[in-house]
Chains A and B, each alone.
Chain A
């Protein structure tokens, strides 16, 4: 029994995942989390530091760290990188003015050694709003197709209506579970959809 096997078995016993919610301020990170937990989303204040919440999905416990996205807070993101299994990058689809900022912040994140191997889920949030950028536009603006270092997917969602949230998180959990707990799921890693036949709600990394 190799060391890797022992580590995996240990992890499998706990069935826990550490997930980091990041993105520019005003993206809707906290709102997504509250919606996922069926909490009231009408009184959310901008996050001044960070929130921790726990979510149980498919028998896995997700320890979610939601860190504020204000410019002043971004340098502190790195304090949360250690042993992260997945990053959820939340984008405000209406924020055309800062889409390039959003892209460069994401790039910086992916270059981080401690996030190597983490699965990336990009939530194109606020898709319920008229005038929001489309999934394809955001994918291209963030230059996602050039990401080869991480498994990624981009999904549209609306934290306000709740559309797309569960599907995104389901993909994330399956993806991470398939990677970490190879015996945890019978199906193993989910096949990644090629970008060509992308359903309107999602675009993925082409393996």
Chain B
């Protein structure tokens, strides 16, 4: 739709305005305000990644530079309210419902592996921790260990990560004197957005999977339903009893779930993909079934990944 055009437009004007920031302090302030206002205006059209990069990184950087300059310029004020609360909140609250994921990234900085935050700091809800894994690159992400029963997990803005959501390895019978009882935790549904060059390994789930904005990924997953939107160049090894849905996608390859990982009871329809952008006769050009010679490759891939699990005992 037009939103991509709008966001592209905005991106270039934002960059140009940013470069053109003139030297005088008052000028800088007004220009910054204009930038901020422009950003706020376009917030609704911007994809999450741009929003974050414009708002959080670039604009914040400029603003902090400005305040540094100001503090040099002016005599230091004798009285100041403690900073922090009022600064970031208003703008963030505007565009969308604040996702715990975005607020989660800050406190988890020292161990940025995954963040488990209460639903909201002030609410007295007893909903338990929320599994939002966001804003990581080059990490190995494991299934959360602090849950019981079926859980839903959200992945957002990850690049070059391996995400392994198989249940944590159970302590074996021989060494299991005081072993913890086997975890009942299992991923039941998954929501993913903006993954680049990631490997996602998910056991066969009872619920559904929905993904958006994947690029150059390998997804190994079993689910009741599978939907993928606005993605490209991604290989999906899938076990699904219903027809997979693709929408605004290109260069997707669908193959069978590696059965040595898990043997689901139902037969898979991973080859019966429904493309919402292709209503004509014949097969959609946006996806292909992996041919059998490629499946060997896929299995090798998966074996390499399952090898990661074997090394786990040494790590912990």
What residues make up the interface of A, taking CB atoms closer than 8 Å to B?
25-26, 42-46, 48, 70-73, 92, 94-100, 103, 126, 128-134, 136-137, 140-141, 160
Contact = CB atoms under 8 A, between A and B. Distances in A.
B128 interface: yes
Given A42-B224, A130-B148, A95 B129 contact: no
Contacts of A130: 128, 147-152
A197 to B, nearest CB: 15
B120 interface: yes
B129 to A, nearest CB: 7
Contacts of A134: 119, 123, 125, 127
Contacts of B128: 130-131
B225 A137 contact: no
B306 interface: no
Chain A interface helix/strand/loop/mixed: loop
A96 B276 contact: no
Contacts of A140: 97
B246 to A, nearest CB: 10
B207 interface: yes
Interface of B: 95-97, 99-101, 119-120, 123, 125, 127-132, 147-154, 156, 188-189, 191, 193, 206-208, 210, 212, 224-225, 227, 229, 241-243, 245, 247-248, 274, 276-277
A129 B191 contact: no
Contacts of A71: 229, 247-248, 276
Nearest to B248: A71
Given A43-B241, A43-B242, A134-B127, A96 B154 contact: yes
A131 B151 contact: yes
B97 A99 contact: yes
Nearest to A93: B152
B152 to A, nearest CB: 3
B152 A129 contact: yes
Contacts of A44: 224-225, 242
Given A103-B97, A129-B189, A136-B123, A70 B212 contact: no
Given A72-B247, A134-B125, A137-B119, A94 B154 contact: yes
A46 B97 contact: no
B150 A97 contact: no
B99 A25 contact: no
Given A45-B225, A130-B147, 15 more contacts: A26-B210, A43-B241, A46-B242, A72-B276, A96-B97, A96-B132, A97-B156, A97-B191, A103-B97, A129-B151, A130-B148, A130-B152, A136-B123, A137-B123, A137-B125
